[in-house]
Structure 1
């Protein structure tokens, strides 16, 4: 009994550390949307340029995925996490002193690099340390990411109101990085070692299935990044206050948190994830249609449907990738590839939506485009038969 407790305690501490780290992976982006009108009042920004504040961190996340695992092997997992948190914290704190769009964009890119180093590492770490509960632990990790987004979206406008400064609303989230940094520093002797890779580096660029998984993840994440960037500005244009629009985005991300916890637990009962994935995509399609056709009527229902769909789709896309390979290091390499290509795809969506808004004067065509993308994803889901996984990766 003592041995079980001794083994369980470090695992619990490791999972708590992962949760604290994950809370830092979205506030630098999620706080921007609700404060955008205030930022644009102070710094001249078109919607296309403003989209770079979400697009460039996501693109940086994609590019950094390809060398993130290599860095973690050289530095060790713990040092990689500490370095990443330091980068995110300093990039976020620097926003207290920004005077131009260029400086704001640079801070966003730096935060994106820090985020990517962690996101390249975590799936392999979770599959290695929690092999019997991959879906549940991935759900908790991804849910914590969305929890950080919910905190930032909901409270950034309140911080701005209290301090009279949008810069404070963006910079206060450095506190989360400091908290996680102190926790990981304190775990020097307690955290269990994570196995390093003994498997040759694999070139997933040659695998058609890896590309399909990457496209699926990228298209799903495109809906997440686009909603994160533009839902609050969309409702501000529909007459809502920044505070209420921020709370609506916070409500949507709270629904993502609930779905991110519940859906992987449900999906854990079967290795065939197609029914769950299909249901999530139908929820997202319904949410986008409601957002377009009736943004003011039943205004809580549409973000609820979007949040439940997107919140479940994000972890499930990674879980399906992990399902394809049993070896934790190979699976980690695959998810790094999937996220790398996927984030490059997803990073384009806020820019395209911003250009659509500048040209057509409305975000509605962006929502229609994303609805069509979700229909394409429904067709891709049909190909995720677990009985066929083994033949795709020899």
Structure 2
């Protein structure tokens, strides 16, 4: 086993890093279809998969609830197997869950929950691998674009795949296990980057100091080593809580929208096929934004405007979708997709930008995504309940718009204050308090 690792480390460094990036993008593509495939055919699920219609809100909530519960699994597994292998194991579990829930109707809900746990396990490790490889904003952007691409493919292809399989919906849902297996193979072969499973805590701390003393920007002050006991716990760092709030609120909006947008559009007079196509368009329209947002976030002057501005833009876009006639929904859904995807790209970027090194990025990722998705699990449920109680969509959309305003406030707070650090190195004291994506840090 060790010989294989050593042989792999003999690859050209640029080739190895390139393979890691390709593997990460493929992993990211697999972390949304489990949700959007079902959302795109939500009206068929009760009849085909024998689910009580009253449980549809639960079906939309379960994977997100699983996200919130399973946040610590990723870092725990990475410490024991290494990051690359941990992600590979998560994707193998995801593939199994996708097949089981589609082929055994009684296991639809448990399989969906298991798929959510697997997705979360892999998702929290993506920023850690980016940080460990000193990935630039383009790395984070490509990964977040992969999330959006996977979401779009899941929503847009589920019905064509169903037709290709002779109208068999379970097969159209289960086939997504194939790209999950491919992602597991690629990330296992690339290996990500050695983590605590292969490197002692002392060596990791030394690497942090070493990387900081090389090519340090003139605006930075070199940190001095400190006693690990002096490190402030993550739960006591207000920047960590602000990043977590931003991640959770944007995720809550995303899952509420993806769970009910198609149903809302049908109520506006669109056909089920057109509504599913617009749900796919929601993700596709946001792909450029999800790529560029992390890159632009690396510029402090832009970040100061972007972080709070995106929340306000999402609020306006939601009200636009609510008030626009059916003929304008293509435009309004596209605008909503752009600003919502930019918010997700920024949320992922903040985990990297506002963390000191890869260990901190991994823990901040687990905290922000774990607690954030626990909050986000309320999105599909509350949106569905508000629609049921009121018999319409006005209250639901106004509530989501109000949440987007709170998202703007969380973004404002997330870019203020010191960089998050749980490693045995003192905080970087650069004037803007940001560790740029281009520098990374280790």
Is this contact kept in 2: 1:223–1:370, CA < 8 A? yes
Match of residue 5 from structure 2: none
Question: Given that residues 234 and 420 in structure 2 are in contact (C-alpha distance below 8 angstroms), is that contact kept between their aligned partners in structure 1?
Answer: no
Report matched runs for 1:1-394 at 5 Å: 6-42=12-48, 43-46=50-53, 49-100=55-106, 103-131=107-135, 133=136, 135-162=137-164, 163-185=166-188, 187=189, 191=191, 193-196=193-196, 198=201, 203-270=233-300, 273-386=303-416, 388-390=417-419
CA contact (8 A) 2:67 2:120 kept: yes
Distance 1:115 1:144 in 2: 13
1:315-370 deviations in Å (ceiling 9; x for gaps): 21232233223222112211211111100000111011111222222233221111
Relative to 1, partners in 2 of residues 1:392 and 1:118: Cα closer, same or farther, differing over 3 Å?
A: closer
| Deviation at residue 78 of structure 1 after TM alignment | 2.4
Output the CA distance in 2 between the equivalents of 1:344 and 1:111. Answer: 15
Aligned-partner Cα distance in 2 for 1:344–1:300: 31
Q: Does the CA contact (< 8 Å) of 1:202 and 1:333 recur in 2?
A: no
Aligned in 2, Cα 1:203/1:65: closer, same or farther, shift over 3 Å? farther
Compute the displacement of 1:227 (Å): 1.0
Other structure's SS at 1:69 match: helix
User: Does the 8 Å CA contact 2:144/2:348 hold for their aligned counterparts?
Assistant: no
Structure 1 alignment gaps of length 5 or more: none
C-alpha spacing 1:108/1:378, structure 2 compared with 1 (3 Å): same
Q: 1:372, CA displacement in angstroms?
A: 0.4
TM-score (norm 1): 0.90
**What is the deviation of 1:295?**
4.2
**Whole-Å separation in 1 of the counterparts to 2:264 and 2:67:** 25
1:241-297 superposed Cα distances (whole Å, 9 cap, x missing partner): 222111101111011211111222222233761212233223312221111112414
Q: Compute the TM-score of the two structures, normalised by the length of structure 2.
A: 0.80
Describe the shift of the 1:192–1:294 C-alpha distance in structure 2 as closer, same or farther (beyond 3 A).
closer
Cα 1:192–1:358 change in 2 (3 A) is closer
User: Which consecutive residues of structure 2, in runs of 5 or more, have no partner in the other structure?
Assistant: 1-10, 206-227, 428-442
SS at match of 2:184: helix
Say which one has the larger Rg. Answer: 2
Deviation larger for 377-386 or 76-85: 377-386
Structure 1 residues 30, 202: CA separation in 2 closer, same or farther (over 3 Å shift)? farther
- How far apart are the structure 2 equivalents of 1:261 and 1:279? 18
* Partner deviation per Cα, 1:78-107 (whole Å, 9 max, x = no partner): 22122111111011112332334xx21111
What do residues 189-208 of structure 1 show as CA deviations (whole Å, max 9, x unaligned)? Answer: x6464232726797422333
**3-state SS of paired residue (1:36):** coil
Aligned residues: 381
Moved over 4 A (4+): 199-202, 390-394
Q: CA RMSD in A?
A: 2.3
